[in-house]
Amino acid sequence: MFPLTEENKHVAQLLLSTGTCPRCIFRFCGVDFHAPYKLPYKELLNELQKFLETEKDELILEVPNPPPKKIRLQELEDGIDRIDNLSQNGEGKVSNIEDGHIASKNSNLNVCNVCLGILQEFCEKEFIKKVCQKVEASGFEFTNLVFSVSFPPQLSVREHAASLLVKQEMGKQSLSLGRNDIVQLKEAYKWITHPLFSEELGVPIDGKSLFEVSVVFAHPETVEDCHFLRAICPECFKPAKNKQSVFTRMAVMKALNKIKEEDFRKQFPCPPNSPKAVCTVLEIECAHGAVFVAGRYNKYSRNLPQTPWIIDGERKLESSVEELISDHLLAVFKAESFNFSSSGREDVDVRTLGNGRPFAIELVNPHRVHFTSQEIKELQQKINNSSNKIQVRDLQLVTREAIGHMKEGEEEKTKSYSALIWTNKAIQKKDIEFLNDIKDLKIDQKTPLRVLHRRPLAVRTRIIHSMETRYVDEHHFHLYLKTQAGTYIKEFVHGDFGRTKPNIGSLMNVTADILELDVESVDVDWPPALDD
């Protein structure tokens, strides 16, 4: 059943005669069900032609000094025949051209003066197939997708001009046209293309999918359509660092909402002029949202930084914990880049023992995303076999939201350490036993000198929950500590020139220093432990 009614005839005939395509005519007539838009272009033109035919020649366009009725109807039929003949000659053929854009081979197409060919060529099966070929060649792994399009901002200007024309025509019939009565171009485009994409790729369209296929359209011929708006509404077009042009869709829409109807008509033709060429496709891009891998790592080397150690552009050590783990993940997930985070960090000369330190890695734009638990175990084993400096456990895929568990309450968590302490004065076992009795000792730590270049100057209060000592000899003892996360252990031992108070040196009335430090546990219950 044809979607237009007798009430729509005047508007449909007016739009068609001024160069508007059938699908845009449907939009301005408020056709809000999908089926008519999905018909092939040739069939749409034939149906529209039949609809507008009238035995009594009773449809007359009201224009100044109209020509005889018979001439006008003949011109209308000729226009329909021209478009119909074009459709028979090859509906919307698309090809790659030398500059890398996709453009029309059919130079005789009467291009729609509103959508600039978007609802003519670029929602036909041939174009969708070309997009799908690029998707399949991209090498991404996906089970659904979200399809996004970016239209030239001047389409909004042309749509506004056409809506004013339709509004005027409907007013002559004592009818009204609201903004919500017009089906948006993007909606109509998706109604047509989504089923075609699903059929061609064999996967559903899902707005929540992490895999996105985006198509960016441009129309150089009409790029200046928007420029008059800047002179009338300059406050809407403010330069932004991340935008190449001030004429964004949002800025244009903001200006169109402000401009008076009479001012618009003085500056822009209603109906809009017909262009010579259809839009070009600037780019077809595929991208996958980040995936996240978490685990815990042990660090056994006292000569390995957590992240690459680079000073003044010069690398100081050949590797890092981050790289020993991430290099394997990048290769297997076929990701473009990564971001590493962890629950705290240890110094280059500090080992991390026990159950290890929680970490998470964001893998950006991964091409492979589906792994079995066995494959993840094998990946963990591959990491562990590649180096004796680190070991990874509990490696698993996690969500972005789950990473928050690693960071939340970080200051309230506890960490356990073991340290080998040196004293300048000779000590006996009884000289250190009093440390075992100290519980929940509050200390004030001014930002250590060694990190002052990357941390703001501040005084932070931290708690030493408990200490346990083991005598070694008259100048050495082992100190086992349980502290609030964020405590600078080295500074608690030697005092950092009085910047940490109290400290082991001041408590024992000696000069103390730390020779070795190990992280024994990081008490964060994340990620979940896995069975070996």
Spatial neighbors of 53 by CB under 8 A, at least 6 apart, are none
32, 84, 181, 347: the catalytic one is: 347
Which of 459, 430, 8, 95 lies closest to 281, judged by CA?
95
CB-neighbour burial class of residue 183 (10 A; exposed 0-12, middle 13-18, buried 19+): buried
* CA–CA separation, 22 and 91 (whole Å): 14
- Any residues with CB less than 8 A from the CB of 492 and at least 6 apart, and which? 443, 445, 464, 481, 483, 500, 503, 504
Contacts (Cβ under 8 Å, ≥6 apart) of 471: 427, 428, 429, 432, 477
Q: How far apart are CA 23 and CA 189, in angstroms?
A: 10
The helix (H) or strand (E) run that includes residue 123 is: none
Q: How far apart are CA 425 and CA 470, in angstroms?
A: 17
The answer to whether 347 is a known catalytic residue is yes
Between CA 376 and CA 192 the distance in angstroms is 40
Gap between the Cα atoms of 83 and 106, Å rounded: 12
Per DSSP, the three-state class of 324 is helix
Which positions ≥6 away from 530 have C-beta within 8 Å? 393, 394, 395, 396
Helices 185-201 and 125-137 cross at an angle (nearest 10°) of: 60
Q: How far apart are CA 61 and CA 69, in angstroms?
A: 9
Question: What is the set of active-site residues?
Answer: 347
